[in-house]
């Protein structure tokens, strides 16, 4: 058995902490979408101030580690269906747009909703895209699959896949990953940011927890042409709350990702620690792809025996 893959934390973590001055973000800044645009890394983060309403702030970086924030949020609740907050954005670049899927929270419950932007600052609402159901952790694939848009979402406790022709009406809902009782992700799972295309499949970072409710991150590889097929899923988590800002926080024992970026040689995975701060951790592409070769080796081993 080869050593499980793990993410390596950036030593300068946390990379974004609550603001001392901006009222809307004095309590928590966490669960950010991260995307590259015109040579800069944009972080669209969930922020809470004393009123506990979630708004979305924006911070920008030249190197992916040092961020400067805008003083005002870029997306705030405006509609009844998001009266309690706009949460956990995931942003996907597709067809010249940035699409943000977020959790709209109100007395209705949590609704998967969408907005789009050309520049990541000015957002145009597209509305609730999964009506009449409590759902969250939805994220759009960065490419169409077989001519249709594809999205992960989460009906408790599983990760689902769905397809659409117009981004607004979603069909062919199917479960693609379940919790694995007895393992770290035995009770509930949900997708992270947009999956990364690799030669061997869609690389997916996701979150999960078991009875103790310790939110960890995991890694899976899905078939490129048919992402309902899980080619490989690591048994061990790839990141477990250990650092003080992950173990303590607004909610203890949480690492939760809504996005990452790829550089020439690695994946940078951004994550909320303790629902309180933002941090980043990395894995080289070479390592991440050994997930696929482990899979092939396992199959060879299995067929031998």
Segment near ligand BMA (CB under 6 A), from 120-128, 235-243, 250-258, 283-291? Answer: 250-258
Structure tokens at 262: 């790829």
Binders of ligand BMA among residues 188 to 227 (CB under 6 A) are 215
Q: Distance between CA atoms of 259 and 301, rounded to whole angstroms?
A: 34
Residue 24 beta carbon to ligand BMA: minimum distance, rounded to whole angstroms: 17
Residue 27 makes contact with ligand BMA by CB under 6 A: no
Binders of ligand BMA among residues 69 to 108 (CB under 6 A) are 87-88
Residue 88 beta carbon to ligand BMA: minimum distance, rounded to whole angstroms: 5
φ, ψ dihedrals at 19, nearest 5°: -85, 145
Residue from 271, 272, 282, 291 in contact with ligand BMA (CB under 6 A):
272
Q: Distance between CA atoms of 2 and 18, rounded to whole angstroms?
A: 39
Strands 277-284, 85-94: pairing kind: unpaired
Residue 74 beta carbon to ligand BMA: minimum distance, rounded to whole angstroms: 18
Which lies closer to ligand BMA via its Cβ, residue 88 or residue 185? 88
* Three-class SS state of 301: helix
Cβ atoms 211, 222 nearer than 8 A: no
Residue 240 makes contact with ligand BMA by CB under 6 A: no
Residue from 152, 275, 281, 282 in contact with ligand BMA (CB under 6 A):
275
Torsion of CA 276, 10, 295, 192, to 10 degrees: 30
Which lies closer to ligand BMA via its Cβ, residue 14 or residue 272? 272
Which lies closer to ligand BMA via its Cβ, residue 194 or residue 272? 272
Strand partners, 190: 207
The secondary structure of residue 120, as a DSSP letter, is S
Residue 13 makes contact with ligand BMA by CB under 6 A: no
Segment near ligand BMA (CB under 6 A), from 78-86, 191-199, 249-257, 279-287? Answer: 249-257
Segment near ligand BMA (CB under 6 A), from 1-9, 76-84, 179-187, 248-256? Answer: 248-256
**How many other CB atoms sit within 10 Å of the CB of residue 289?**
18
Cβ atoms 34, 265 nearer than 8 A: no
Residue 37 beta carbon to ligand BMA: minimum distance, rounded to whole angstroms: 24
Residue from 31, 48, 92, 117 in contact with ligand BMA (CB under 6 A):
31
Segment near ligand BMA (CB under 6 A), from 12-20, 155-163, 197-205, 251-259? Answer: 251-259
Q: Distance between CA atoms of 117 and 93, rounded to whole angstroms?
A: 10
φ, ψ dihedrals at 77, nearest 5°: -55, 130
Q: Which residues of 203-216 are buried (b: 16+ CB within 10 A; e: fewer)?
A: bbbbbbbbeeebbb
Residue from 67, 256, 267, 271 in contact with ligand BMA (CB under 6 A):
256
Alpha helices in 135-223 (DSSP H): none
Residues that bind ligand BMA (CB under 6 A): 31, 87-88, 215, 251, 254, 256, 272, 275
């Amino acid at each position: 058995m080869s050593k499980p893959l793990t993410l390596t934390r950036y030593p300068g973590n946390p990379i974004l902490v609550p603001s001392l001055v901006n009222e809307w973000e004095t309590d928590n800044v966490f669960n950010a979408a991260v995307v590259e645009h015109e040579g800069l890394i944009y972080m669209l983060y969930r922020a809470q101030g004393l009123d506990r309403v979630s708004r979305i702030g924006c911070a920008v970086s030249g190197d992916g580690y040092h961020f400067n924030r805008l003083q005002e949020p870029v997306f705030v609740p405006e509609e009844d269906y998001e009266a309690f907050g706009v949460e956990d954005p995931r942003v996907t670049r597709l067809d010249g747009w940035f699409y943000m899927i977020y959790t709209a929270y109100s007395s209705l419950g949590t609704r998967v909703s969408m907005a789009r932007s050309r520049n990541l600052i000015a957002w145009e609402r597209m509305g609730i895209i999964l009506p009449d159901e409590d759902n969250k952790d939805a994220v759009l694939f960065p490419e169409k699959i077989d001519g249709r848009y594809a999205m992960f979402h989460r009906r408790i406790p599983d990760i689902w896949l769905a397809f659409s022709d117009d981004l607004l009406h979603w069909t062919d809902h199917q479960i693609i990953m379940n919790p694995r009782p007895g393992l770290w992700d035995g009770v509930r799972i949900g997708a992270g940011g947009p999956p990364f295309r690799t030669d061997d499949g869609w690389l997916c970072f996701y979150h999960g927890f078991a009875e103790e409710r310790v939110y960890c991150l995991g890694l899976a590889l899905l078939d490129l042409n048919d992402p309902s097929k899980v080619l490989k899923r690591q048994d061990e988590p790839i990141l477990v709350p250990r650092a003080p800002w992950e173990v303590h926080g607004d909610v203890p024992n949480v690492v939760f990702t809504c996005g990452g970026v790829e550089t020439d040689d690695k994946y940078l995975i951004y994550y909320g620690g303790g629902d309180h701060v933002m941090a980043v951790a990395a894995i080289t592409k070479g390592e991440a792809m050994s997930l696929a070769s482990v899979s092939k080796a396992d199959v060879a081993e299995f067929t031998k025996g």
